[in-house]
Amino acid sequence: MKKKPVPKYRRILLKLSGEALGGERGVGICPKAVFSMAEQIREVRDLGVQVVVVVGGGNIYRGQAGSERGIERATGDYMGMLATVINALALQDALEKLGVPTRVQSAITMAQVAEPFIRRRAVRHLEKGRVVIFGGGTGNPFFSTDTAAALRANEIGAEVILKATKVDGVYDRDPKKHPNARRFTRISYLEALQRRLQVMDSTAFSMCMDNHMPIIVFDLFKPHNLRRVVLGEPVGTLVTDGSSASQRTSRNTAA
């Protein structure tokens, strides 16, 4: 009988950008992309891992972009928060069609479509094997969904933040512009800040650093990558405490 793999993490927070739900174009909601993400989430949930998801809303509306076109910034940010709830509902629908019990909690009260965010209730859902999706950001303007992810991860006792991207980790330069850019396998918070690598926005990153919350940046668009990360395989870039020299690999090294 084949032995069931043992995950490295018991409780994770997965940060998804809105653009990831938009598929190739990164705009709107792509059912194929949403279903693919739901399948990866189901894979790790079937390992017994407790999964929390924070979704962005950039595929529908981005508050900062709206403010540049004349919409008052706070109003634009609230519009962006509503977009994250739309994405959360789309992901919930895909997960439940795969047989995964799911709850959406929103930082903005909207009882007809989502539960309000209540930390103890969220933890109870996780203990019952449900996936919990947080929408509505932090519920406050001027804060990104990166900050919401850092905040919720610490509140619900996640062991790691898994930041899903379209690249296979953190690079010393933009790999799209610089073919010889090198990927870090591991880097400290301090070095990432000093190099201005923009793993997350500064508020979110400071919160992770202050609370010793590790971050793994990885490519979610490679099949089974989320499962590989959860099992502790060397996928993507680990951002964590430590003053040791960063470890880098060539760009062409597979994650």
What is the three-state SS of 217-250?
EEECCCCCHHHHHHCCCCCCEEEECCCCCCEEEC
The yes-or-no verdict on residue 245 having pLDDT over 90 is no
In tens, the pLDDT along 76-123 reads 999 999 999 999 999 999 999 999 999 999 999 999 999 999 999 999
In tens, the pLDDT along 120-143 reads 999 999 999 999 999 999 999 999
Among the listed residues 179, 178, 183, the one whose alpha carbon sits nearest the alpha carbon of residue 237? 183
Task: Sketch the domain layout of the chain as residue ranges.
Answer: 11-249
**Tokens (6 digits) for 157:** 């006792």
The yes-or-no verdict on residue 244 having pLDDT over 60 is no
Q: Could you please report the per-residue DSSP string of 96-157?
A: HHTT--EEEEESS--TTTSEEP-HHHHHHHHHTT-EEEEESTTSSTT--HHHHHHHHHHHTT
pLDDT at 70: 84
The yes-or-no verdict on residue 1 having pLDDT over 70 is no
Q: Are 158 and 12 a contacting pair, CB within 8 Å?
A: yes
In tens, the pLDDT along 227-236 reads 999 999 999 9
Q: Would you say the pTM of this structure is higher than 0.85?
A: yes
pLDDT at 239: 96
Tokens 């407790």 identify what position? 50
Question: What single-letter amino acid sits at 12?
Answer: I
Tokens 């099949």 identify what position? 223
**Tokens (6 digits) for 161:** 């933040």
What is the dotted CATH code of the domain comprising 11-249? 3.40.1160.10
